[in-house]
Structure 1
Amino acid sequence: MTDVGVRERRNVVDAAARVLTEVCAPWVVNIASSMVIGIAVGAPGWGAFVALCAGVVPMAVILAGMRRATIGDHHVSKIDERHLLIVVLLFVVVAGLVVQVVAHAPIEMIAFMSAGLVALAVAAAITSVFRWKVSVHTGVSAGVTVVLALAVSPWWLLALTLTPLVGWSRVRLGAHTTGQVVVGALTGAVAAGLTYALIA
């Protein structure tokens, strides 16, 4: 294969990695899964509320940080930019949970948001205490898939095949190491899955 051919192949692979990274971004997955669970339990309004708290608001906060130049990119690639952001996101999710509990939201929706809160707290601990940039992409991918399998149908476990692909995309783009995507997936699946199972 010529040098031109090699470059073209690399460009195609890199483009595929970028598409996977964007389509499976945490905020996108959170919005989609919130609506799926909301519809599945007959509470699409609560699904939209959780989507707002877990997807729309977090991305709005990130974009605001980018405008102020306190966050470099929408994936928050620099570890030092993640600390304050995580605190803000934890506050948003806790506030959303309070609203759900006070308004007597379906237990499945409360459990789903609680699962996200615990998974985020675990990722925060690894990031802040150990200063290791664990992958939120793979954490959300695996965690949401396990919760969907528990809440909606075991068939959702088939979607776990996407998590290694998401991990590959993050490594390919230089955002994480292999260890960071693996740990992200394992902690996300365990933290979110156990939390949902205990509450729902």
Structure 2
Amino acid sequence: MARLVTEALAPSVLVTAMPMVVAAWASHDLGSFLSWGGTALLFCAVIPVGVIVHGVRRGRLSDRHVGDHTQRARPLLTGLASVAVGMALLVALRAPAELFAMIVVIFVVGAACTLVNHWWKLSIHAAVAAASTAVLVLLHGPALHAGWLLVAAVAWSRVVLRDHTWPQVVAGTALGAPLATGTFLALT
């Protein structure tokens, strides 16, 4: 069960889903959804995840979750560069503020995780799950506070699988939620 939760709510899954959810919510027609959502998907998910998959296949990264925190800097920095390009393109495409804010949330939370992971193995799974839940609550209202149960499940799974300690998942959650909330509110 822990492995299923870790895989189903992995950062790669959430950074794929969240821009698409926000693009669908903010788009007025199929063309804008495809343009904005496709751009966000490519630069926030396809390229960053592709870098990790390539690194695993070449033997430079331990696994797709980059469990060895000493290997995290390069793929995380490459992912951040890709997200930054995506942000610039979304501005050029006149994407809605909510979608732009979601992409900035991905960038800010990713940058904070990258910085912390230079010294300590903070749980990116927990940070991204908490950030995603915070944005969903802001977009869709208090009923989505139920998403915090999924954040708790992610934290539990990471500890049960011995990929993280409780302090690492608590720190990830404590980093992701307020950064996402502040960033999203500042930009929308």
- TM-score, normalised on structure 1? 0.88
Counterpart Cα distance in 1 of 2:144 and 2:82: 27
State the shift of 1:38 in Å.
1.1
- Per-residue deviation, residues 74-128 of structure 1 (Å, max 9, x unmatched): 1100011101111101101101001111221111111110011111111111111
Confirm whether residue 78 of structure 1 aligns to residue 68 of structure 2: yes
Higher Rg: 1
Counterpart Cα distance in 2 of 1:72 and 1:122: 22
Q: Name the aligned partner's letter for residue 166 of structure 2.
A: T
Task: Look up the SS of the partner of 2:120 in the other structure.
Answer: coil
Task: Look up the SS of the partner of 1:20 in the other structure.
Answer: helix
Could you tell me whether the CA contact under 8 Å between 1:17 and 1:170 is conserved in 2?
yes
2:116 paired residue number: 126
Confirm whether residue 44 of structure 1 aligns to residue 29 of structure 2: no
2:182 paired residue number: 194
Task: Look up the SS of the partner of 1:73 in the other structure.
Answer: coil
Could you tell me whether the CA contact under 8 Å between 2:80 and 2:110 is conserved in 1?
yes
1:4 paired residue number: none
Q: Unaligned stretches of 5+ in structure 1?
A: 1-15
Could you tell me whether the CA contact under 8 Å between 2:39 and 2:89 is conserved in 1?
no
1:20 paired residue number: 5
State the shift of 1:21 in Å.
0.5
Could you tell me whether the CA contact under 8 Å between 1:37 and 1:109 is conserved in 2?
yes
Pairing of 1:53-132 with structure 2 (within 5 A): 53-128=43-118, 131-132=119-120
Could you tell me whether the CA contact under 8 Å between 2:131 and 2:181 is conserved in 1?
yes
Q: Unaligned stretches of 5+ in structure 2?
A: none
1:140 paired residue number: 128
Give the aligned CA root-mean-square deviation in angstroms: 1.2
- Per-residue deviation, residues 16-44 of structure 1 (Å, max 9, x unmatched): 11000000011111212222111111252
Counterpart Cα distance in 2 of 1:176 and 1:118: 22
Counterpart Cα distance in 2 of 1:185 and 1:112: 17
State the shift of 1:51 in Å.
2.5
Task: Look up the SS of the partner of 1:74 in the other structure.
Answer: coil
Aligned length: 183
Task: Look up the SS of the partner of 1:21 in the other structure.
Answer: helix
- Per-residue deviation, residues 148-171 of structure 1 (Å, max 9, x unmatched): 111233322211111111011001
Q: 1:170 aligns with which of 150, 158, 164?
A: 158
Could you tell me whether the CA contact under 8 Å between 1:118 and 1:191 is conserved in 2?
yes
- Per-residue deviation, residues 127-146 of structure 1 (Å, max 9, x unmatched): 11xx1111111111110111
| Identity %, equivalent residues | 34
Counterpart Cα distance in 2 of 1:142 and 1:100: 24
Could you tell me whether the CA contact under 8 Å between 1:26 and 1:55 is conserved in 2?
no
